[in-house]
Amino acid sequence: MRQQRLRPVLLLIGLLSFLVPHSPGYGGGAMAPFARIVPSAAAAAPTTPEARLRDAVTKRVTTVLRLTSDLRLTADLPAVTCPNLTVTGNCRTVKGRSRRCKIDGRKRFAGFFFMREGNLTLSNLEVTGFASKSGKDNLFVRSVGGAITVRNCLFTKNSGGVIDVTTGYGLKVEGSSFVRNEGGVINVAYSTMEAKDVLFQANTGVTAIGLVRTGLICRRCVFENNTAQTQAAAVGVGSAGSIRFSRCRFIGNTVTEVGGRGGAVIVQGSYGQFCHCQFERNTIKVAGGKTRIEHVYLNGGLGDFCEKVPSTGVNFDVGEAKVNCKSCPSA
């Protein structure tokens, strides 16, 4: 909203810089259309997509930023101090069709660091090149205390985690895909996560979604061909978090190290509900290099399945798996 209100003023400054090209004081206001006419003004402009993003995250009021071009970070983003920030991609293909805008961390830089109460909404973005390494977490989003919403985004070729949420209102993901990321995708602790129409495919390394004392609700999610070394390739839920999947599909998820458990899902000391879900070819490795079907492992956990418990591949140590359709959502 604010972004739009600012536009006429910037346009005027842009016009002035066009009329007074020798005055460096006005150069900063150059808008994209003028940059094309006066190429020299473009260099000084704080209106590059990255500069506009940096400006937006540190605003003190509700801010909506519409990106209209891809951006490659040249430094970590500053900590988000905006209490209610929305960043929406509004890019076009050469043929003028609407597409996501790409944000590339270039394997070096960190994205949104949100360390307070408040809301961050991200939509229509393609997120790539966020790569954490020892000593530096280059996550795309790290939130402590915030409410994070992600809509219609694609996350691909990131490594070492993409979204990390601790406490707060938690994480909501809708209509998005996480494809071919390495080393985990989402971690949520002491909070909640809701996912609707989300695809997790061909992610490698560790469990795609790791939860600690966190409730998860997943509707119409697909987990396909994810692989992890030691534990559940799709979702791992630890201590006191409860999870509910409804109309989800778990296909071809694999744990690759001998002794690893829960091909698709591991529930540790907590509760998992699977309403009208489909399980196919989720596997673990056993001694002798063989694979065995294991969709869900309940490690001191309880599992309710509706309409039925799969005839193979639901295993438990101390735990129980039973048929229970109570409190399954109807659609």
Ligand X SMILES: *[C@@H]1O[C@H](CO)[C@@H](O)[C@H](O)[C@H]1NC(C)=O
Which C-beta is closer to ligand X: that of 76 or that of 194?
194
Residue selected from 3, 69, 84, 230 as contacting ligand X according to rule CB under 6 A: 84
Which C-beta is closer to ligand X: that of 248 or that of 321?
248
Question: Can residue 190 be called a binding residue for ligand X (CB under 6 A)?
Answer: no
CA angle 153/195/256 to nearest 5° reads 90
With contacts defined by CB under 6 A, name the span among 14-22, 80-88, 92-100, 151-159 that binds ligand X: 80-88
Assess contact for 156 and 179: CB atoms under 8 A. Answer: yes
* 310 vs 313: CA distance, rounded Å: 7
* 96 vs 90: CA distance, rounded Å: 11
Question: Can residue 167 be called a binding residue for ligand X (CB under 6 A)?
Answer: no
Tokens 């704080």 -> residue = 46
Which C-beta is closer to ligand X: that of 76 or that of 280?
280
Residue selected from 126, 224, 294, 304 as contacting ligand X according to rule CB under 6 A: 224
| Per-residue interface string for the shown chain with ligand X, residues 105-124, x marking contact by CB under 6 A | -------------xx-----
Q: Residue 182 contacts by C-beta under 8 Å, 6 or more apart in sequence?
A: 158, 159, 160, 203, 204, 205
What is 17-37 written as a DSSP string? HHH-TT-GGGGGG--HHHHHH
Residue selected from 16, 64, 79, 144 as contacting ligand X according to rule CB under 6 A: 64
Q: Residue 288 contacts by C-beta under 8 Å, 6 or more apart in sequence?
A: none
Give the total residue count for the chain: 331
Question: Can residue 62 be called a binding residue for ligand X (CB under 6 A)?
Answer: yes
Which C-beta is closer to ligand X: that of 153 or that of 321?
153
Residue ranges in contact with ligand X by CB under 6 A = 62, 64, 83-84, 86, 118-119, 147, 169, 201-202, 224-225, 252
